């Protein structure tokens, strides 16, 4: 029982770190966006730029994570990232200077990468080392809880607080979240064996597999970022849905909370790639529903589908990366995230530009769904490559 308690404590450190770096430092911006447009004079194009800067920071963090092999250094940077998350949140309320806002979003992105990649890598390494299942579903519940928590917080605060006070309230919440995020994650063990004495080996995939995998994940990143960034603004502008955007964002967060755990279970039965294909198809439906059908119920159903799939895909991909590289999981996680992150910079910039031309963001959802269809085709191709690689791997063994 003691080892299970320790496992839950380590996974809880991950949950609190993700609520901090993704819920507060990253996603509180989405429900606060309409308020900042109303009260702080934030324009359409600037809103897109701030989102793009956040992803640029995240991408820079992913690049750093993909270059680091030293577990002790990862642990240090993870802990620094938690502190930076608080500072970046407080910065948003201290100024109305768009340049400082951009800097804040950039360093919030860096802190997101620290929690998402370095923290996840450290936790996965700990799980494998202590002979637990290398599954991250419980850990990733932190993302959904962060999104849902921010939506509820903004909804509760909006009547009594202006945009600036809300950023300071989030900074105070962040100061509470950092305590378990730092205290419950043990210092990393750098030995080459698990606790039962089994050696830890990396078993990397082929270059072709990795290339197609990264391309499909780029498409997933594009599909994800448009909805995640603009859903509140899109829904608020749909006929008869003014003011309902925050509700859609809450639905995304609620659906995302158990999603990774659910997709872990689905992947056990279907295999990882089949689970990814299923999640991507459901996500396409979720992205299209608000604009193709309209109305509150289809919009909320779409938000639930989107929330229940995007995070499942991230969890499955990062867990697969950790299984290929158990000794240095953040390396491949960083590479995968670079392709996911590149899409997240390109996506908001394109949609922000189109929105300025067309006066709304709805076209963005159609583009996102189209890119996701390409991603599904790449995942189907990946199944054939995986089979080919398995046959090739057996060839030398058969020749002996």
Give pLDDT tens digits for 297-315.
888 999 999 999 998 998 8
On the question of pLDDT at 400 being above 60, the answer is no
Instruction: Compare 48 and 108 and report the one with higher pLDDT.
Output: 108
Contact between 236 and 245 under an 8 Å Cβ cutoff? The reply is yes
What does the alpha-carbon distance between residue 217 and residue 63 come to, in Å, rounded to a whole number?
16
Structure confidence at residue 284 (pLDDT): 94
What does the alpha-carbon distance between residue 61 and residue 34 come to, in Å, rounded to a whole number?
28
On the question of pLDDT at 366 being above 90, the answer is no
What does the alpha-carbon distance between residue 366 and residue 361 come to, in Å, rounded to a whole number?
10
Residue 217: closest CA among 307, 320, 122: 320
pLDDT tens digits along 246-264: 788 888 888 988 898 899 9
pLDDT tens digits along 56-105: 898 899 888 888 888 899 999 999 999 999 999 999 999 989 899 999 99
Structural domains of the chain, ranges and CATH numbers in brackets: 8-185+203-399 (1.20.1250.20)
* Greatest mean pLDDT range, 267-276, 285-294, 330-339: 267-276
Share of the chain above pLDDT 90, in %: 43
Contact between 226 and 370 under an 8 Å Cβ cutoff? The reply is no
* Greatest mean pLDDT range, 73-77, 343-347, 389-393: 73-77
Instruction: Compare 21 and 204 and report the one with higher pLDDT.
Output: 21
Structure confidence at residue 282 (pLDDT): 96
On the question of pLDDT at 222 being above 70, the answer is yes
What is the SS3 string spanning 6-49?
HHHHHHHHHHHHHHHHHHHHHHCHHHHHHHHHHHCCCCHHHHHH
What does the alpha-carbon distance between residue 319 and residue 108 come to, in Å, rounded to a whole number?
24
On the question of pLDDT at 236 being above 90, the answer is no
The token pair that represents 193 in the structure block: 């064996």
What is the rounded average pLDDT for all residues in the chain? 88
Structure confidence at residue 186 (pLDDT): 92
Residue with tokens 């031309």: 357
What does the alpha-carbon distance between residue 12 and residue 101 come to, in Å, rounded to a whole number?
31
DSSP state of 193: B
H helices present in 238-295, as ranges: 245-270, 272-292
The band of 396, judged by pLDDT with boundaries at 50, 70 and 90, is: low
Q: Whole-model pTM above 0.85?
A: no
What does the alpha-carbon distance between residue 74 and residue 105 come to, in Å, rounded to a whole number?
22
Question: How many other C-beta atoms are found inside a 10 Å radius of the C-beta of residue 303?
Answer: 27
What does the alpha-carbon distance between residue 225 and residue 310 come to, in Å, rounded to a whole number?
10
Contacts of the segment 12-15: beta carbons below 8 A, 24+ positions apart: 12/180, 12/184, 13/119, 13/123, 13/180, 13/181, 13/182, 13/183, 13/184, 13/185, 14/119, 14/120, 14/123, 14/136, 14/139, 14/142, 14/185, 15/138, 15/139, 15/141, 15/142, 15/145
């Amino acid at each position: 029982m003691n080892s299970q308690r320790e496992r839950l404590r380590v996974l809880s450190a991950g949950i609190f770190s993700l609520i901090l770096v993704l819920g507060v430092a990253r996603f509180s911006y989405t429900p606060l966006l309409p308020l900042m447009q109303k009260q702080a004079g934030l324009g359409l194009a600037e809103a897109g730029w701030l989102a793009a800067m956040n992803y640029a920071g995240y991408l820079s963090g992913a690049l750093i994570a993909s270059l680091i092999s030293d577990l002790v250094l990862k642990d240090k940077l993870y802990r620094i990232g938690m502190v930076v998350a608080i500072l970046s949140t407080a910065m948003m309320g201290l100024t109305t200077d768009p340049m400082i806002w951009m800097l804040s979003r950039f360093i919030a992105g860096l802190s997101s990468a620290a929690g998402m990649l370095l923290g996840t890598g450290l936790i996965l390494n700990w799980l494998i080392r202590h002979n637990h299942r290398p599954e991250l579903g419980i850990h990733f519940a932190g993302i959904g809880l962060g999104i849902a928590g921010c939506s509820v917080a903004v909804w509760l605060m909006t009547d009594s607080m202006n945009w600036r006070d809300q950023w300071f309230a989030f900074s105070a919440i962040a100061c509470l979240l950092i305590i378990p995020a730092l205290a419950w994650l043990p210092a990393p063990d750098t030995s080459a064996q698990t606790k039962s004495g089994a050696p830890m080996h990396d078993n990397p995939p082929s270059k072709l597999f990795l290339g197609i995998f990264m391309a499909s994940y780029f498409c997933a990143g594009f599909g994800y970022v448009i909805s995640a960034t603009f859903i509140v603004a899109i829904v608020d502008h749909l006929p008869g849905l003014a003011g309902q955007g925050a509700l859609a964002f809450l639905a995304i967060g609620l659906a995302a909370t158990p999603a990774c755990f659910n997709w872990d279970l689905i992947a056990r039965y279907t295999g990882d790639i089949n689970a990814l294909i299923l999640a991507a198809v459901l996500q396409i439906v979720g992205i299209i529903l608000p604009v193709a059908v309209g109305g509150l119920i289809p919009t909320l159903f779409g938000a639930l589908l989107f929330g229940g799939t995007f995070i499942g895909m991230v969890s499955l991909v990062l867990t697969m990366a950790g299984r290929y590289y158990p000794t240095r999981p953040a390396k491949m996680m960083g590479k995968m995230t670079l392709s996911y992150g590149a899409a997240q910079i390109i996506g908001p910039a394109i949609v922000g530009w189109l929105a300025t031309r067309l006066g709304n963001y709805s076209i963005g959802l159609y583009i996102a769904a189209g890119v996701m269809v390409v991603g599904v085709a790449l995942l189907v191709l990946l199944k054939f490559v995986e089979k080919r690689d398995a046959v090739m791997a057996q060839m030398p063994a058969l020749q002996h």
